Structure 1
Amino acid sequence: MTANAVFIHHPGSARYQFNESHPFDPQRITLSLDLLHKVGALSPGDLIVPETAADDIIALIHRQDYIDAVRQLSKDEPPAEWLQQADRYGLRTEDTPFFPGMHNAAAAIAGGSVLAADLVMSGQAQHAYHMAGGLHHAFPGHGSGFCIYNDAAIAIEQIRHRYGARVLYIDTDVHHGDGVQWSFYTDPDICTYSIHETGKYLFPGTGFVYERGNEHGLGATVNVPVEPYTEDDSWLESFEHSITKVAAAFKPDIIVSQHGCDAHAFDPLSHIHCSMRIYQAMPAIIHKLAHQFTNGRWVAVGGGGYDIWRVVPRAWALVWLEMTDHPIASRLALPGVNEALPASWVDRWHSLSPDPLPSYWLDDTSGWMAIPRRSEIEERNRHTVKLAVQEM
């Protein structure tokens, strides 16, 4: 681990599990950490354990009545009067059902993202990575989309409240970062940027180009909704062109990035057809922007990702490899270069995976099915990007 990057992890985040059949599986964190251990990029002693977020920290974004509801519904046998309130707080849906220990697990995740923000803003670290974070769909008064407490929004509000800094939030999850966007929709000092599959076809059904902010925050919200079956070249063209313009126009003091990795072709919950190439390239672009515009201040969190065996470990490990200038990241950035995953990692997990595990960091896409209407999809995405940044 380099001196300028810190890795935040609370063991309590492993308890953030709705039920055994739910797609949000904390096993993905275990797999990702083990991959980093196997390549020698992280050791158990490198992990910084945060405190669980107290109510006053969670209340930077969430209403106290919602926090109370989460606490009560976290009990092994929730009181009857609170069971009757579960629907009101979005905690009895198929996506986001309440579960025992929910508050402590979600507060542990919130605490991790807040510590990452504090370490960077106080100058104790230049970069910080909190892999378990990125629960970007939670709202002040209700849970949504697998998310109980919005750790990214809480960390951003901590930055504004304690340090008075301008924050550029970059969301690369395939689902629109709605909870973060709406939390800061009128704030001119928080720019929320999200690239995602268009809400015409995908949860949460928001994140359109015309969502630009309101009141003093008008223009500080940027959305790049791409077409279904977008591939690597178009996704990266859309991302790099738009986020470079946004960063140059907004001039942030710190970047907070969310690295959901569910735009991969293997992910079961979206319709985008990208490969691991975008998960090598996007952290590199963000890293460059951080050094160009924020004196290197960069906080990264995880997010979505539901092919937990073939996609998430590689994608999330690549964020840390880029953040620490690891030689693997440098080599993978070269055109045409790929590199084998450690055999010890593949050997450990292959018998548990429902699909054959990959052997390399990047995908061999030569045998992938060709996407019809490729040129049409690319042109539509270029038009969307033009609209998204036309006033920058």
Structure 2
Amino acid sequence: MTARAAFIHHAGEAGYKFNDSHPFNPKRLELATDLLRKCGALDDACRLRPKAADDALLSLIHRSDYIEHVKSLSADRPAPSYIAAAERYGLTTEDTPFFPGMHTAASLIAGGSVLAAELVMSGRAEHAYHMAGGLHHAFPDRGSGFCVYNDAAVAIADIRRRYGARVLYIDTDVHHGDGVQWAFYADPDVFTYSIHETGKYLFPGTGFVHEKGVGEGFGRSVNVPVEPYTEDDSWLETFRETVEKAAAAFKPDIVISQHGCDAHAFDPLSHIHCSMAIYREMPAVIHDLAHRYAGGRWVAVGGGGYDIWRVVPRAWSLVWLEMTGHPIAQALNASDLPLPAEWRGRWAPESPVQLPDTWLDDVSAWTPIPRRTEIEAVNRKTKAIAVQDL
């Protein structure tokens, strides 16, 4: 196992919780980290606690008036004037309502991604993983899509400022990585890549193939919107070919990847029909790209994922297992393996659904998708258009 991988985690990040009924549930962090512990893959020596990002860091992406309002709306009883202005800042929607302690938790998450990027760029770690990060929908002046501060964008802006690094950002969340894309849309030294369900049907309604950057940043944005009910083979074919061409064309100094795991068939908020196979394969592809094109420098963050019992723990654990070269990740290339019985026994009494027995899914019993041939044909056309300007 690589000794130079850092795992960034702080218990305070679990405070990023909108309300008890909101789909963005921080319990998924506990489930995933416990799975890593139960399979002996998380050494305490690799774990580092981040500090909250201060206003200077947050201001690399976010407007000062927005930060001020996030802070004020984080009080137990915000002043009426701030509540009245909350809608303007995107913090009264069903998706992203303000909540007590919001700034403290969100700035801690931003600080975690900044620390991960700094560790890698400074050479103190070859790889770094910040599972709580990946809040890719936040904008400079407003929250959106469960995201208050855009931690990945803040981290990218920080290492651009401090190191002048050329950054390849790879977003595998089922929702388009809009906030990161627009933050660097004119920057020729930040390449944003996103594979996601087409915005024709899914939030945030962006991420089409014609979104390729502007000015000096033209060609530095690649979007690969796939069709609803895309399955493993088509998703992976599309991903491998396009992300490889993006990395080869750009030749980054560092790869920062977002690992939202909501393209799984079990996820309640999307229409993609993939299995755990893509979450075993995508980190391996990204790991290889980081070593071939970026001197091994790789930062991974979390993201979406709303089947918190069956999908998120396995998918997010697989990122770390790949990052550290753990034997489980290597063995899964050949066959499936059982999940630790201790982990299943610990969480089964709480889970509202039956927990999986194995790392991967048995898809043989899944209902076939009737439009498979048509879906695959559309995805191949999209793939070709997405990379034609590289």
- TM class by smaller structure: over 0.9
> 1:253 & 1:50 partners in 2: Cα distance?
23
Q: In 1, are the aligned partners of 2:245 and 2:387 still within 8 Å (CA)?
A: yes
Report matched runs for 1:182-221 at 5 Å: 182-221=182-221
Provide, for residues 16-56 of structure 1, a one-character-per-residue CA deviation record: whole Å limited to 9, x for no partner: 00000000000000000000000000044532001111110
**Structure 2 partner of 1:373:** 371
Normalised to the residue count of structure 2, the TM-score between the two structures is: 0.99
**Structure 1 partner of 2:359:** 361
**Structure 2 partner of 1:28:** 28
**Structure 2 partner of 1:170:** 170
> 1:369 & 1:268 partners in 2: Cα distance?
17
Amino acid at match of 1:391: D
- The gaps in structure 2 that reach 5 residues or longer are none
SS of the residue aligned with 2:255? strand
**Structure 2 partner of 1:295:** 295
How many residues align? The count is 390
SS of the residue aligned with 2:119? helix
**Structure 2 partner of 1:3:** 3
**Structure 2 partner of 1:160:** 160
> 1:73 & 1:66 partners in 2: Cα distance?
10
Query: Aligned-residue CA RMSD in angstroms?
Result: 0.7
Q: In 1, are the aligned partners of 2:5 and 2:46 still within 8 Å (CA)?
A: no
**Structure 2 partner of 1:308:** 308
Shift of 1:338: 0.3
Report matched runs for 1:231-242 at 5 Å: 231-242=231-242
Identity %: 69
Does 1:278 pair with 2:278? yes
Amino acid at match of 2:245: K
Q: Please, which of 343, 346, 361 is the counterpart of residue 345 of structure 1?
A: 343
Amino acid at match of 1:381: N
SS of the residue aligned with 1:256? strand
SS of the residue aligned with 2:256? strand
> 2:47 & 2:125 partners in 1: Cα distance?
14
Amino acid at match of 2:212: R
SS of the residue aligned with 1:87? helix
SS of the residue aligned with 1:366? helix
> 2:83 & 2:174 partners in 1: Cα distance?
32
**Structure 1 partner of 2:132:** 132
- Runs (4 or more) in structure 1 with deviation over 2 Å come to 43-46
> 2:331 & 2:81 partners in 1: Cα distance?
57
Shift of 1:2: 3.0
> 1:371 & 1:282 partners in 2: Cα distance?
22
SS of the residue aligned with 1:339? coil
Range moving further from structure 2, 43-52 or 190-199 = 43-52
